[in-house]
Structure 1
Amino acid sequence: MNVRAFLFLCLFPLAVMAQGFSGLGTDADGFATPQPDPVFRFPADHGPHPDYRIEWWYLTANLTGPDGTPYGLQWTLFRSALAPGEAEGWSSPQVWFAHAAVTTPKQHLATERFARGGIGQAGVEVAPFHAWIDDWRLEGPDFDRLSLRASGLEFSYDMDLRAKGPLVFHGADGFSVKSADGQASYYYSQPFYRIEGTLRLPEGDIAVTGDAWLDREWSSQPLSDRQSGWDWFSLSFTGGAKLMGFQLRQTDGSTYSAATWIEPDGTTTAYPDGAFVAEPLETSDVAGRVVPTEWRVTLPDRGVDVTVDAVNPQAWMDLSIPYWEGPVQVSGSHQGRGYLEMTGYE
């Protein structure tokens, strides 16, 4: 274990990690909680919300190389608070960590970083936009024009992003309910980035282009104590429409779901529990776990009945908080590609 990982585990309380999946359980511990009818203020809300317990800036990208090979890219910055609020120096209760990954049809390369808030090692500023941890950066003059870089022992990437559409808000104008008990988050996305740059992999440098999707979400208690994990889909269809859908798996075997249909111009329609259905079709042995890597996804109101296949079924994020994350191909009633994240598979 490296020194930074050791410090992270010392500073990050075991009680938080044990509460729900990855510390996303029901006890808000005096933190602020999302309320209906939110009013977002930009660019301020692109930045951190230290009175809430958890938050992320979550970028995924579907990329194509010169020979048509599909690739996937992930960059995520997480903030997790030990207590509400902010302070200077080592008195800061904010803990930061980040994940970076590249997926090819044959490889999945992933790494992570850890930092304590208040000492300049990690954070987010909004004008101009600057999200960082160590030398990993997502930054630009504003949220529509960004550059991205990160590196691990076996890979690195250097990318430019340009937004070609508006922000979209999930749930009821950005108030995204996660359970029948009422747990919720504030949740919006920028799903219209065009991205291009260079992947540096063991086999050499690869110039890539594609589409990227950035999720912004914060809360203090987004899971109920009867939920064990989630399956999250971001799908981009030929023709320009997009679909975000997730299901949260209940301990009794049922699910709680929600979805957002996104038109090419950014117009959205939110769908409540039960409208979006994801059913596993095939599983794979992944890092000693049985993980669904082929799905049937349906949204009847939009005529969606598609098969979602992992580009690389072995896209396991073998990090301090393990989960599956990787690019997918879409076929059936709609054609396209996207990203799939699955948590809670033990």
Structure 2
Amino acid sequence: MNAKSSAVALFSLLPMLAGPAVSQGFAGLGTDAEGFSRPSLGTDLSFPKDHGAHPDFRIEWWYLTANLSASDGRDYGIQWTLFRSAVAPETGTPTEGWQSPQIWMGHAGLTTPDAHFSAERLARGGIGQAGVLAAPFEAWIDDWRMAATGDGADEFDALSLTASGPDFSYDLTLTATGPLVPHGDAGYSVKSPQGQASYYYSQPFYEIAGHLSLPDGDVEVTGHGWLDREWSSQPLSETQDGWDWISLHFDGGAKLMGFRLRDREGAPFTSATWIDPDGTPTPYGNGALTLTPLEETETSAATVPTVWQVEMPGRDLDVRLEAINPQAWMATSFPYWEGPVRVTGSHPGRGYLEMTGYGD
């Protein structure tokens, strides 16, 4: 990973600056988090407060993926992510100005069947260039924005979403048709046998409409979106090198979140949440979900699995995931693969796949 500027070089050390070694977990997420708050079992999530930032924790993100289609049936996918990371613990009143220890990074991606576009923004906290407000909800970095637009019961009920890069942009509206969904034990999501954990919930019920701007013109699209909210201070163990994460929308109305955390010294750790069409979640612990790579693709930077078998016997689930565009590599400061997938088998549908920790 080459630093593009002093700002990139700074962020490339995050979120591991509070710990001693970059090699501990993907992107340093397994380093010790002394001085930062840690998730604790039995803590109730609180809304709209928890839609906002948690500066006493080291790392968090607001992460939206969407499976979209044009009127001619052509598939598209978009990603919008805002990361907050702290270079040092912050206690008491948040520090303003350039002394703020908060660093922000934005990623945007747009995937078509034959092209993938990505962009990155970096910002310091405390000077207004990036941030998050809980109510009315707004998350921004430069001119990229995710913001509440309605008067629903929850701040996430209706959102607008914008981002742009050198060769693309998108402008979308999101309307939730179901409830917020906690993962794990009421939002306490365990990530390793050693007990590393995060707070984690989603809004997986967005109906989306809007337009994409591409080099060959604008495209009107509709589809489904999934927003993840997660925060922690040490979400991985020292030996976990990366993860394979899925969010799936099945044609029958149910949904599935699942992940496999790879460990260089042992078996992968898995977790899943089955979501009924009415939003009722059922969490599944380690071992209930199996993700098996079937075919690999050599991308511009790494060889990654882009066809998977996903099985969950407890739900009679046996499906095959195939990337719409196997070349959906995010060439960002922390590089990874991110793109839409088609789902066939026992529960057909569409979804998103994220894979980190592959390649150099």
TM-score strictly above 0.5: yes
Match of 1:242 in 2: 255
2:145 is aligned with what amino acid? Answer: R
Q: Cα gap change, 1:89/1:172 in structure 2, threshold over 3 Å: closer, same or farther?
A: same
Match of 1:124 among 125, 132, 145: 132
Match of 1:180 in 2: 193
Please tell me whether the aligned partners of residues 287 and 316 of structure 1 are also in contact (alpha carbons under 8 angstroms): yes
1:301 is aligned with what amino acid? Answer: G
1:287 to partner: Cα distance: 1.7
Match of 1:338 among 345, 351, 360: 351
Quick one: percent identity of the two aligned structures?
62
Measured in 1, the distance between the counterparts of 2:7 and 2:283 equals: 41
Q: Deviations over 1:134-169 (max 9, x none)?
A: 000000142111100011000000000000000000
Measured in 1, the distance between the counterparts of 2:10 and 2:33 equals: 21
In structure 2, runs of 5+ residues without a counterpart are 150-154
1:13 to partner: Cα distance: 3.7
Measured in 2, the distance between the counterparts of 1:8 and 1:312 equals: 28
Match of 2:180 in 1: 167
Measured in 2, the distance between the counterparts of 1:238 and 1:5 equals: 45
Q: Cα gap change, 1:60/1:150 in structure 2, threshold over 3 Å: closer, same or farther?
A: same
Match of 2:45 among 20, 40, 43: 40
Match of 1:298 in 2: 311
The CA RMSD over aligned residues, in Å, is 1.7
1:40 to partner: Cα distance: 1.2
Measured in 2, the distance between the counterparts of 1:13 and 1:70 equals: 36
1:5 to partner: Cα distance: 4.2
Match of 2:7 in 1: 7
1:286 to partner: Cα distance: 1.2
Q: Counterpart of 2:44 in 1: which secondary structure?
A: coil
1:170 is aligned with what amino acid? Answer: H
Q: Counterpart of 1:338 in 2: which secondary structure?
A: strand
1:288 to partner: Cα distance: 4.0
Are positions 1:110 and 2:115 aligned together? no
Match of 1:94 among 90, 102, 119: 102
Q: Deviations over 1:192-219 (max 9, x none)?
A: 0111100000010000000000000000
Measured in 1, the distance between the counterparts of 2:172 and 2:110 equals: 13
Please tell me whether the aligned partners of residues 4 and 114 of structure 1 are also in contact (alpha carbons under 8 angstroms): no
Q: Counterpart of 2:265 in 1: which secondary structure?
A: coil
Measured in 2, the distance between the counterparts of 1:270 and 1:257 equals: 11
Please tell me whether the aligned partners of residues 30 and 239 of structure 2 are also in contact (alpha carbons under 8 angstroms): no
Match of 1:24 in 2: 29
1:22 to partner: Cα distance: 1.2
Measured in 1, the distance between the counterparts of 2:97 and 2:265 equals: 44
1:163 is aligned with what amino acid? Answer: A
Measured in 1, the distance between the counterparts of 2:114 and 2:13 equals: 36
Q: Cα gap change, 1:223/1:275 in structure 2, threshold over 3 Å: closer, same or farther?
A: same
1:333 is aligned with what amino acid? Answer: S
Measured in 1, the distance between the counterparts of 2:308 and 2:280 equals: 26
Please tell me whether the aligned partners of residues 12 and 334 of structure 2 are also in contact (alpha carbons under 8 angstroms): no
1:23 to partner: Cα distance: 2.2
Q: Deviations over 1:286-313 (max 9, x none)?
A: 1242210000000111010000000000
Measured in 1, the distance between the counterparts of 2:130 and 2:23 equals: 24
Please tell me whether the aligned partners of residues 107 and 119 of structure 2 are also in contact (alpha carbons under 8 angstroms): yes
Are positions 1:138 and 2:146 aligned together? yes
Q: Deviations over 1:241-278 (max 9, x none)?
A: 00001010010352100000000000010001000000
Match of 1:309 among 319, 322, 339: 322
Measured in 2, the distance between the counterparts of 1:22 and 1:29 equals: 17
Match of 2:217 in 1: 204
Please tell me whether the aligned partners of residues 63 and 208 of structure 1 are also in contact (alpha carbons under 8 angstroms): yes
2:209 is aligned with what amino acid? Answer: E
Please tell me whether the aligned partners of residues 26 and 222 of structure 1 are also in contact (alpha carbons under 8 angstroms): no
Q: Counterpart of 2:126 in 1: which secondary structure?
A: coil
What is the aligned length? 346
Please tell me whether the aligned partners of residues 24 and 237 of structure 2 are also in contact (alpha carbons under 8 angstroms): no
Match of 1:328 in 2: 341
Q: Counterpart of 1:193 in 2: which secondary structure?
A: strand
Match of 1:84 in 2: 89
1:101 to partner: Cα distance: 0.6
Please tell me whether the aligned partners of residues 294 and 310 of structure 1 are also in contact (alpha carbons under 8 angstroms): yes
Normalised by the length of structure 2, the TM-score is 0.93
Measured in 1, the distance between the counterparts of 2:35 and 2:60 equals: 16
1:127 to partner: Cα distance: 1.4
Please tell me whether the aligned partners of residues 12 and 95 of structure 1 are also in contact (alpha carbons under 8 angstroms): no
Q: Counterpart of 1:254 in 2: which secondary structure?
A: strand
Q: Counterpart of 2:27 in 1: which secondary structure?
A: helix
1:18 to partner: Cα distance: 4.5
Measured in 2, the distance between the counterparts of 1:323 and 1:10 equals: 19
In structure 1, runs of 5+ residues without a counterpart are none
Normalised by the length of structure 1, the TM-score is 0.97
Measured in 2, the distance between the counterparts of 1:209 and 1:333 equals: 25
